[in-house]
Every structure is written in C-alpha cells, then in structure tokens.
C-alpha cells in the first residue's frame, strides 16, 4: 500500500482531498512536504546523499532531511518522524525553528511532476556522521559541508554538480536564514 498525501492548491490551501503519493506525482498535484536543514557550531550544514534507488535525483546531495507529510499528519510530527527514520536521530519539535513554507514545481518526466509546498525548518545539532543511522532505502551517506558550498552553487551550479538542483529563491532564503544563525 502506498503513502497517502493531502492535496493542496497552488496557493497552498488544503483542498480536503487525499491521494496516493505516486498518483499526486503522476498527475502533478500540489502536496505538503518537510525539509530540515541541520547546521552545527562549526558553521557547517549536514547534507544527505540520496540513495541510488530514489526516483528523483538518485545519488545527489540533498537537504539533511526531506519527506512527504502523510495525509492527516502535521508538518511538526513529520519533521520528527522523518529525522528519526532517515538519520536515526531523535529530536523534539521544540529544538527546531520554522523558516517558512516555500512552493516548488519540478517536472522530472512526462509521468512524474513534483509540485510541493515545503515546510522548511532548521536545527542546530553537533553530531558526528558516524553516530547517524542512515535509512538505506532513502540515504546512501551523510556529510558535513561548509555553508559556502551553497553560495558557490548559486553563483556556479557546476561548482557542486552532485547537489540536487534547488530553485534559486529557495536556496537564497535558506542561505540567508542559516547565515543569520552563525
């Protein structure tokens, strides 16, 4: 049985409908997701390398935690659940900071369009990569990177070709927010 997601309008209003995640992608329906940007006291960000079996951006470096909000669930409980599932980290929502909701629209193929409203959070966590328990189906590896790698990517995407191609406005918002935390 597949995962069910709530359907939203382009403007970010829940419609009251729910559908299988695979169908939402096939039909290009907007749906809610979460992103968690983890940073440490060394001014680094934690990125995860997506498993090679992932349908979108396999083997690319991505935000530390990302996931779909299951139908009826809240963004807050999803952040906590996905962080535990993907990285093996137990966190509490009170440790995170909400950044904002940002819309994304990416057409991967004729049969797969990602139209999402990302609920974006941050978390300061000094944790060694060796202490993470990675979910093999989702995450191939994790690593700490200087935040400047994101700024360089904005200027020249070829400087980090293995990074998921984030939309410029999204990445600028995240960089500005995280720089304010250092």
Task: Give the domain ranges of the chain.
Answer: 4-179
Q: In angstroms, rounded to a whole number, what is the distance separating the alpha carbons of residues 168 and 115?
A: 16
- 141-157 residue pLDDT tens: 999 999 999 999 999 99
Cα separation values, 20 from 27, 38, 109, Å: 11, 29, 18
This prediction's pTM: 0.95
pLDDT per residue as tens digits for the range 27-48: 999 999 999 999 999 999 999 9
Task: Tell me the fold of 4-179.
Answer: Nucleoside Triphosphate Pyrophosphohydrolase (3.90.79)
């Amino acid at each position: 049985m597949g995962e069910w997601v709530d359907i939203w309008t382009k403007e970010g209003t829940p419609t009251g409908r729910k559908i299988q995640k695979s169908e939402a992608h096939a039909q290009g329906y907007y749906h809610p997701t979460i992103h968690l940007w983890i940073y440490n006291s060394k001014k680094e960000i934690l990125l995860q390398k997506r498993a090679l079996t992932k349908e979108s951006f396999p083997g690319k470096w991505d935000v530390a935690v990302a996931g779909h909000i299951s139908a009826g669930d809240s963004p807050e409980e999803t952040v906590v659940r996905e962080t535990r599932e993907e990285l093996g980290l137990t966190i509490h929502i009170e440790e995170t900071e909400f950044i904002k909701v940002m819309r994304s629209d990416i057409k991967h193929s004729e049969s797969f369009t990602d139209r999402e409203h990302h609920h974006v959070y941050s978390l300061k966590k000094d944790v060694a990569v060796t202490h993470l328990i990675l979910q093999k189906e989702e995450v191939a590896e994790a690593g700490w990177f200087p935040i400047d790698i994101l700024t360089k990517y904005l200027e020249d995407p070829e400087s980090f070709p293995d990074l998921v191609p984030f939309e410029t406005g999204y990445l600028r918002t995240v960089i500005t927010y995280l720089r304010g935390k250092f």
